[in-house]
Structure 1
Amino acid sequence: MYQDFFGLRELPFALTPNTDFLVNLSSHQECLNLLHVALSQGEGFVKIVGEVGTGKTLLCRQLMNDLETEGVKVAYLPSPELDGRELLLALARELAVDLVEKDNPHDIRDQIFHRLIEFARSEKRVVLLVDEAQTMSRGALESLRLITNLETEKRKLLQVVLFGQPELDEQLQGRDMRQLRQRITFSYRLQPIVSQNIGRYINHRLAVAGYNGEGLFDSAAIKRIYRASSGIPRLVNVLCNKAMMAAYGKGDRVICSRHVQRAVADTDEALCQRSYTSWLLGGVALMVAVAGGVLYRVML
């Protein structure tokens, strides 16, 4: 690939959620701060929602690293497309509970309770991180709620952080979900990268990957990446990677607008984002024009 050509140790825009590349952006830092505050207060449920590609899994991994450093027992469910019993089994395995395969949900829940009490007696906090939580069935959500019923006089024995796409909010709107909904004491919605931070995001990832030269992406390239990605981190990564491949193929040492344009043309989602942005801006311009025409007639 192009690592040697640009003087890199590794690929700077890989899609793997590597916490070494986490950029201290305002939305992500606010989210991490809220998570640490909520969990330190012993609250039961915390919900983090964000569109596809906004960095939920990366934040989940960073939180996991932070908690393990603090001595917290972390259970992790990366893709909980499970029914109620399967979720209990997965959680039991994460907590190293000895199970018999034929155990019914009630027995599994009891054994999880006993294990949580053991952790509490040793003054060890237990946090469950659920990624892609929008895929959970209602039965799995209800099983999760029942597990969190166990608590001491001072705190919950199991804290849960749900990371999910906006569909998670829709999943929780049903009347049968109101008990769980009331237990979500903190929530946060991740935002895309704002335009003024796109350059910082790109340059940080390049620096972590080993680049130590002058600005590799010129200002026009950065602006075009923002317009085509709408600030979605995953899409920024895809476009930057492809633009660097285009520059490498031409032997160019600086990524400019034409390299990004080739990347955009090769990325369906970027074309969709750009079309949506153009439609939105066109709608705003039309409203301004209409408002201006009305005002002109009023003045006459």
Structure 2
Amino acid sequence: MFPQFFGLKYNPFGKELDISDTYESNDIKEFKSRFKYIQSSRGIFLLMGEPGTGKSTALRNVTAGLNPGLYKPCYFTLSTVTVMDFYRGLLMALGEIPANRKVTMFHQIQQAISSLYYDQKITPVIMLDEIQLVSNGILEDIRLLFSFKMDSENPFVLILAGQPQIRNKLGLSVNSPLKQRISIKHIMQGLKKDEIEDYLATRLKVAGALENIFTPAAAEAIYSVSKGIPRLVNNLATASLP
């Protein structure tokens, strides 16, 4: 009941926050800067971070600002999928109806990407989340799927997002060809200690608070426990309110 007690429109530390009101931490700013680079160069971007560090928020933030006339965002989470599930899910994210055979779906995916980029002048921005969970077989298929014109062009932006364990898989010799094609990386670090107080105040203000509820000492305590991981910061802030 604390939103009513403090005159808030909603829980400022819940998921109701509009993406346009995302707190611009140094971490988010650095990610956006690197995303701008991959927009112009195209190719493969590796986004890593521990759970709760803000990977999904960062992806939502940049895709919300994409011009729909120039970019087509396609998001697909890869948790425990088979190779065939991966092909079907990617095709549906691209707006296509999957065929029954893998070889046909392979050509469907490449044709859909080529049609968007070369015919419609729209760059597909494909985000594959939870990449650390996939098999080496899927990683190899990703490399093959996103090889165009004998690997001479990149008519796409591909973001591989997941937890840091993906580095172990990419370190395997079998995945070396895919690792070599990754042109830019970013590791989400969470909030810095000197950002916590401003983060809390900003989230409260967006929800309608007229004054800051958290003292500097409270903000420091929240950082000490959370280590700046946004999800933990939000949980602790919510638990701290009556």
After TM superposition, the score normalised by the length of structure 2 is 0.92
User: Relative contact order (alpha carbons < 8 A, sep ≥ 6): 1 or 2 greater?
Assistant: 2
Q: CA deviation at 1:148?
A: 0.6
- State which drifts further: 55-64 or 113-122: 113-122
Structure 2 residue aligned with 1:89: 88
AA partner of residue 25 (structure 1):
S
Compare the two structures and name the one with the higher helix fraction. Answer: 1
Q: Which runs of 5 or more structure 1 residues have no equivalent in the other structure? A: 246-300
Q: Which runs of 5 or more structure 2 residues have no equivalent in the other structure? A: none
Q: Provide the rounded CA distance (Å) in 1 between the counterparts of 2:156 and 2:208.
A: 40
Q: Provide the rounded CA distance (Å) in 1 between the counterparts of 2:181 and 2:21.
A: 33
Q: CA deviation at 1:152?
A: 9.0
AA partner of residue 64 (structure 2):
N
Structure 2 residue aligned with 1:77: 76
Q: CA deviation at 1:140?
A: 1.5
Larger radius of gyration: 1
Structure 2 residue aligned with 1:13: 13
**Aligned match of 1:242 in 236, 239, 242?**
239
- State which drifts further: 68-77 or 199-208: 68-77
Q: What is the RMSD computed on CA atoms of the aligned residues?
A: 1.9
Query: Does the 8 Å CA contact 1:49/1:163 hold for their aligned counterparts?
Result: yes
Query: Does the 8 Å CA contact 2:20/2:61 hold for their aligned counterparts?
Result: no
Change (3 A) 1:145 1:207: same
> Size of the alignment, in residue pairs?
241
* CA deviation map 1:69-91 (0-9, x unaligned): 46301111134422222211111
Aligned: 1:204 with 2:194:
no
Query: Does the 8 Å CA contact 2:73/2:125 hold for their aligned counterparts?
Result: yes
Q: CA deviation at 1:170?
A: 1.3
Query: Does the 8 Å CA contact 1:18/1:58 hold for their aligned counterparts?
Result: no
Change (3 A) 1:56 1:203: same
Q: Provide the rounded CA distance (Å) in 1 between the counterparts of 2:183 and 2:31.
A: 14
| Residues 58-69 of structure 1 mapped to structure 2, 5 A cutoff | 58-69=57-68
Compare the two structures and name the one with the higher strand fraction. Answer: 2
| Residues 175-190 of structure 1 mapped to structure 2, 5 A cutoff | 175-190=173-188
Change (3 A) 1:17 1:179: farther
Q: Provide the rounded CA distance (Å) in 2 between the counterparts of 1:7 and 1:92.
A: 46
| Residues 113-192 of structure 1 mapped to structure 2, 5 A cutoff | 113-119=110-116, 120-151=118-149, 155-192=153-190
* CA deviation map 1:223-266 (0-9, x unaligned): 11111111111111000000013xxxxxxxxxxxxxxxxxxxxx
Residue 178 of structure 1 aligns to a residue whose secondary structure is: helix
Q: Provide the rounded CA distance (Å) in 1 between the counterparts of 2:25 and 2:93.
A: 31
Q: Provide the rounded CA distance (Å) in 2 between the counterparts of 1:84 and 1:140.
A: 6
Aligned: 1:104 with 2:101:
yes
Change (3 A) 1:151 1:229: same
Residue 126 of structure 2 aligns to a residue whose secondary structure is: strand
Q: Provide the rounded CA distance (Å) in 1 between the counterparts of 2:55 and 2:69.
A: 21
Query: Does the 8 Å CA contact 1:84/1:141 hold for their aligned counterparts?
Result: no
Q: Provide the rounded CA distance (Å) in 1 between the counterparts of 2:76 and 2:204.
A: 31
AA partner of residue 23 (structure 1):
Y
Question: Matched residues, percent identical?
Answer: 27
Query: Does the 8 Å CA contact 1:81/1:135 hold for their aligned counterparts?
Result: yes
- State which drifts further: 126-135 or 150-159: 150-159
Q: Provide the rounded CA distance (Å) in 2 between the counterparts of 1:16 and 1:56.
A: 17
Q: Provide the rounded CA distance (Å) in 2 between the counterparts of 1:129 and 1:59.
A: 12
Q: Provide the rounded CA distance (Å) in 2 between the counterparts of 1:153 and 1:177.
A: 16
AA partner of residue 8 (structure 1):
L
Residue 87 of structure 1 aligns to a residue whose secondary structure is: helix
Structure 2 residue aligned with 1:3: 3
Structure 1 residue aligned with 2:216: 219
Q: Provide the rounded CA distance (Å) in 1 between the counterparts of 2:11 and 2:166.
A: 32
Residue 238 of structure 2 aligns to a residue whose secondary structure is: helix
